């Protein structure tokens, strides 16, 4: 029995690293979610080793795409055919599930996004990377602080009869107000429901401010698993919220679809380095280019002390360079 042709998508974020494998029919045949824990190289390595153990004997990788804040790093390590930003990856994945989607709400571990589409084209978007209120990491911390699991958080919210109003403008105010309401003796479920409502108000005020949110609305990212937040969005918008089956890995799914499309139009084999290249010693070094007044911060990735790729320049001078040409230039200063 021959191996199944597959395309891999990798989404490396500050909180999680997600990997998906899709087949020629664009079905997700394997997915993986693991914590980045501040070590993206190790998380990529661990994730791919896990994928290899599960599927390596049965699949042939025909194309690879990377996205997320660590997309360039992942592309350098594994050899990617496509590197795309999160907005594009999430929009592609949503349109695959809901072809006429008009609004995408995406809330991950440490950032939030809103993406608006018309005629299948992204025409507006916004990202919130400053305040952590409403993100997965903030909800994780609040669930731990009040002594419940994050899996039960949303179900507690649904038990509430009289939600308490919580100040959700920022993470610090929200946590302080929750503590204050706990000290006043309010029921835990009413405080949790109040927090869900507050975080949705914060999202709509900051990211959707002035934007018209139209149905169908797709909610993706790890926070989409929180039924309390989902119901708060439906109440605030008066519209149904759609949660896709693979809501937790939609970025990785989208870039896997893009990798498949890319390989259909490009002759030749995938740039994928293979699972055995993961055993090398990868390091990242930040340098400053002195070639002009921009003084761009250049990130250089080395394998076993040999430079392999770099990025971060505005002019593109170094992004196309490989090997020793990178480190020998006098325009780099550490």
Global pTM value: 0.84
- Is pLDDT above 80 for 1? no
Q: What is the pLDDT of residues 73-107, one digit of tens each?
A: 888 888 899 999 999 999 999 999 999 999 999 98
Residue 32, φ and ψ in degrees, nearest 5 = -145, 135
Q: What is the pLDDT of residues 33-53, one digit of tens each?
A: 888 777 788 888 889 889 998
Angle at 240 between CA 237 and CA 244, to 5 degrees: 125
- Is pLDDT above 50 for 188? yes
Element (H, E) at 309: strand 306-311
Q: Could you tell me the two tokens for 290?
A: 């002195």
Q: What is the pLDDT of residues 103-149, one digit of tens each?
A: 999 988 778 899 999 988 999 999 875 666 667 778 888 888 888 88
Q: Is the dihedral of CA 318, 322, 325, 328 positive or negative?
A: positive
Between CA 226 and CA 237 the distance in angstroms is 17
The predicted pLDDT at position 132 comes to: 61
Q: Which domains does the chain have, with CATH numbers?
A: 4-90+250-265 (3.30.420.40), 99-243 (3.30.420.40), 282-333 (no CATH)
Between CA 5 and CA 261 the distance in angstroms is 14
Confidence band, pLDDT 50/70/90 cuts, at residue 331: low
Q: What is the pLDDT of residues 145-187, one digit of tens each?
A: 888 888 888 888 888 888 888 876 777 777 788 888 888 888 8
Output the furthest CA–CA distance in the chain (Å, rounded).
67
* Residues facing residue 242 across a β-bridge: 218
Q: What is the pLDDT of residues 242-259, one digit of tens each?
A: 999 999 999 999 999 999
- Is pLDDT above 70 for 277? no
- Is pLDDT above 70 for 324? no
- Is pLDDT above 80 for 2? no
Of residues 318 and 208, more confidence is placed in 208
Mean pLDDT, the chain, integer: 84
- Is pLDDT above 90 for 218? yes
The predicted pLDDT at position 145 comes to: 83
- Is pLDDT above 80 for 264? yes
Confidence band, pLDDT 50/70/90 cuts, at residue 334: very low
Residue 147, number of CB atoms within 10 A of its CB: 7
- Work out the average pLDDT over 213-231: 92
Residue 12, number of CB atoms within 10 A of its CB: 27
Distance spanning both ends of the chain, measured CA to CA:
52
The predicted pLDDT at position 39 comes to: 79
Between CA 191 and CA 280 the distance in angstroms is 49
DSSP state of 299: E
The predicted pLDDT at position 184 comes to: 85
Q: What is the pLDDT of residues 290-311, one digit of tens each?
A: 878 888 877 777 777 777 777 6
List C-alpha distances in Å: 327 to 130, 213, 286, 288, 289. Answer: 34, 49, 12, 12, 11
The predicted pLDDT at position 22 comes to: 96
């Amino acid at each position: 029995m021959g191996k199944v042709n597959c395309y891999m998508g990798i989404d490396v974020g500050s909180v999680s690293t997600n990997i998906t494998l899709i087949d020629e029919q664009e079905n997700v045949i394997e997915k993986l979610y693991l914590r980045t824990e501040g070590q993206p190289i190790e998380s990529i390595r661990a994730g791919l080793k896990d994928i290899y153990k599960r599927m390596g004997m049965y699949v042939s990788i025909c194309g690879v795409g990377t996205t997320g804040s660590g997309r360039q790093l992942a592309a350098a390590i594994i050899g990617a055919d496509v590197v795309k930003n999160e907005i594009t990856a999430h929009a592609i994945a949503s349109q695959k599930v809901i072809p006429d989607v008009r609004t995408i709400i995406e809330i991950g571990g440490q950032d939030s996004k809103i993406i608006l589409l018309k005629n299948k084209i992204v025409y507006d978007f916004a990202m919130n990377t400053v305040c952590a209120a409403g993100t997965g990491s903030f909800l994780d911390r609040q669930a731990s602080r009040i002594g419940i699991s994050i899996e039960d958080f949303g179900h507690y919210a649904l038990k509430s009869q009289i939600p308490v109003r919580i100040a959700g403008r920022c993470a610090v105010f929200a946590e302080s107000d929750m503590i204050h309401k706990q000290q006043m003796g309010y029921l835990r479920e009413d405080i949790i429901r109040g927090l869900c409502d507050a975080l949705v108000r914060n999202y709509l005020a900051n990211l959707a401010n002035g934007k018209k949110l139209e149905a169908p609305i797709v909610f993706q990212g790890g926070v989409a698993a929180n039924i309390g937040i989902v119901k708060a969005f439906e109440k605030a918008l008066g519209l149904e919220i759609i949660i896709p089956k693979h809501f937790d890995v939609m970025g990785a799914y989208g870039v896997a679809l893009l990798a498949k499309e890319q390989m259909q139009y490009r002759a030749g084999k995938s740039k994928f380095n293979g699972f055995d290249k993961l055993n090398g010693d990868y390091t990242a070094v930040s340098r400053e280019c002195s070639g002009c007044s921009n003084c761009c911060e250049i990130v250089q990735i080395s394998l076993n002390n040999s430079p392999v790729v770099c990025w971060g320049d505005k002019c593109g001078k170094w992004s196309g360079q490989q090997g020793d040409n990178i480190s020998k230039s006098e325009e780099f200063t550490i």
